[in-house]
Structures are given as C-alpha cells and as structure tokens.
Amino acid sequence: MLSRTADCLFWIARYVERAETMARLVDTARRMGQIPVAEGGHRDEWSSVLSAAGCAPAFFERFDKATRSKVSHFLLLDRENPSSVVSCLEYARANARSVRGAVTKEMWETLNESWIESRVLSETLLDNGQLQPFLDWVKQRGALFRGAADATMLHDDGFDFLRLGGYIERIDSTARLLDVTTPQVDGAFVPDDADLYEWIAVLRGGGVYLAYHTTYRAEYDPRRIADFLLLNRACPRSILFCSNQINEHLGHLSRIYGARGRCQHRALQILTSYVDTSIDLIMARGLHGFISGAIAANNDLAMLIAETYHFAPAPLDLSIEAAEGAAAVEEAKAADDALKEDAAKDGEVAGRDLPSLSQSQSQQSGSGAFVAV
C-alpha cells in the first residue's frame, strides 16, 4: 500500500472520531449545565470543555466569554474552527475522495452524505431546541461509518491503518472527556452529590452509561467511573481497551510487512504501563497528571506510526497552553525546520507530535493528505 493511501485512511478515521468527540464534549457540558449548585443557579462547564478540547486559545481570540451558545457553535458549526464537527466531516471526506479506490462504496456514501447534510446546517439550529438531536446525529454518523468499514472493507493493511487512526483518536477523546472533571479528583477525594452527577454526565456523554451500569449496577463512584474509562478491558472507549486494539493492528501490520518498527515497541510499552497500574495508584499520583501523560504518550505513538510507515510530515504539535496565535505557529514552524535539519544530520527522522485538537489543519494542506479536491 502507498504510504499516502495509508496516511489518508489513518486520518479519515481520526477526523470521524474527532467530530464525534466534539459532539460528546458538548453533550457532556450540556448535561453538567443542568446540575444545580448550592449557591443557586447551575454549573458552568463551557470553559472547561474548551480547555479539554484544546480550543480555548482559538476561541478566546474571537470571543470574550464562554457561553453555551457561543461554545456550542464554535465546536459544532464554526467552519473557521478546524476541529469543529463540520470541519472534521469536510476533512474526512476530502481524504476519502483523494483515495477513492481505497474506500468502499458504503464508506464513501456515508462520508459524502454526512458532509452534504452538514453544509446546509444553519446557526439557528442550536437555538431551536435541536442541539441534542444534532449531537445524536453526529454520533450516529460516526457509528454508521465504522459499521460500513467493518462490514464492507477488506480486513487487510488498509483496514489496520483506518482502525489505528480511530483508536488513536479515541484515546485522546476519552482522556479529554475525563479531563473536564479532573480538578476535583486529584489525590484523596470525597465527592458530594453534585460531583457525582458530573461523573454520571461524563458516562452519558461518552455513551457508556449503560455499559457501566451493567458492570457495577447502581454503584456510581468517581473512582469506579475513572477506572471504567481508563483501565476496563471490555469498555470500548477505555484507554486500556483502545491501547490493546492498537497493539493488535500494529502486530498485524508487522506480520504483513515482515518487520517490527519503533511504533510496535512503543505501543507495547504503553500498553504494559496501563496493565501494570491501578486506579488507586493513578488517583494517589493525580488523575490530571495521568491524563496529561496518556495524551502525550498517545501523540508520541501517533508520530512513530507516521514515521514508521512514511506518512506525510506533520507540523510540530503545540501544547494547549502554548498555542497562542500566529506567533506560536511561526515558532512551531521554525522548530519543525530545526528538527528536520537535525534528522538529516543524524540520518533518522526526528520526533514530531501529530497535531492536537486545537492545531489548525490548514498547516497540513501542503502535505497532500488534506487537500480538498
């Protein structure tokens, strides 16, 4: 398979999963916003959701305050936001169109129909009581695409690259979803009723409320919920489950191509670290620190996959805190050039993170993988 084709398949799945992530983050914030507080009124989690999505710097460059309507529009319908739902659907379709022969008819029709429907969405959608139906539609389109791929695509190396992109993005999604609640659970923590309702909202937003209830019945506890989303071996959105699936697909690729690369070794190392830890140890050291480490390790693995299979170079990733406008972007470009020079001297590809949720995909249009045609 051409590396460009593998690259596009990898990013098709990432964009579809990312669109669903944005919908789940907004859904979680909406549910948390319905929780009353002791002082009166309701909780405001919209700023936290922006930070978890990695979109806070870009949002506050244009808006002064994070309100429900502004944040919902920014994460769902804003075409200037490269991580919004409509932008991700457009990027996924563009990638699929550029490698049309590598996707099946059913996969293409799902992406194309989603893109067409998203183009006619108006800003009044969120003001007419249609927010929840739209969020459900986004999640359903993601499930439909994955089902079409599983049922109609050859389960060969192309399928492995597609699934790798999806699971890489899902780890990032689960980590960011949990990060909305992490300020309250570092170290020793005794939740009050409102805190517990927030964690239940995370389960519902993640689409695993029923799965959790089946596992633990009515025992809703922040530690159990965190354990379920991080270390449960059967939950399809848990970080451990996704990490295991990544290892399986990378193992299949190594058997197809007859060689193991750095990405296979790194994936196994990451999986082992999750298997060897426990929720008590994670909480004792700080949940936010664990989540930040998981996101960093996930970005590192994605970079190694791109390096091993010769994907188009991705720009240097910026941390959420450092992504401050054009000046930071220019610094990133300069740093990326320096890395390339070092790689040429050393005879190997220097490490670069794949873009974060907040990174503008317009920077990648020159790579050939994201050019709309």
Distances in Å between the Cα of 242 and the Cα atoms of 21, 88, 138, 213 are 15, 21, 21, 20
pLDDT confidence of residue 40 = 47
Burial of 319 (0-12, 13-18, 19+ CB in 10 A): middle
- pLDDT category at 44 given cuts 50, 70, 90 is low
Collapsed DSSP state (helix, strand, coil) of residue 36: strand
Q: Where are the alpha helices (DSSP H) in the chain?
A: 3-32, 46-53, 56-62, 68-76, 85-98, 105-119, 131-152, 157-179, 193-205, 209-216, 222-231, 239-257, 262-275, 279-285, 287-308, 325-346
The CA angle 138-159-302, to the nearest 5 degrees, is 75
CA distance 76 to 109: 21
- Write down the pTM of the prediction: 0.80
- pLDDT category at 337 given cuts 50, 70, 90 is low
Candidate from 43-47, 66-70, 103-107 with smallest mean pLDDT: 43-47
Tokens of 192: 């009050």
- Rounded mean pLDDT of 114-126? 79
Instruction: Centre a 10 Å sphere on the Cβ of residue 128 and count the other Cβ atoms it contains.
Output: 9
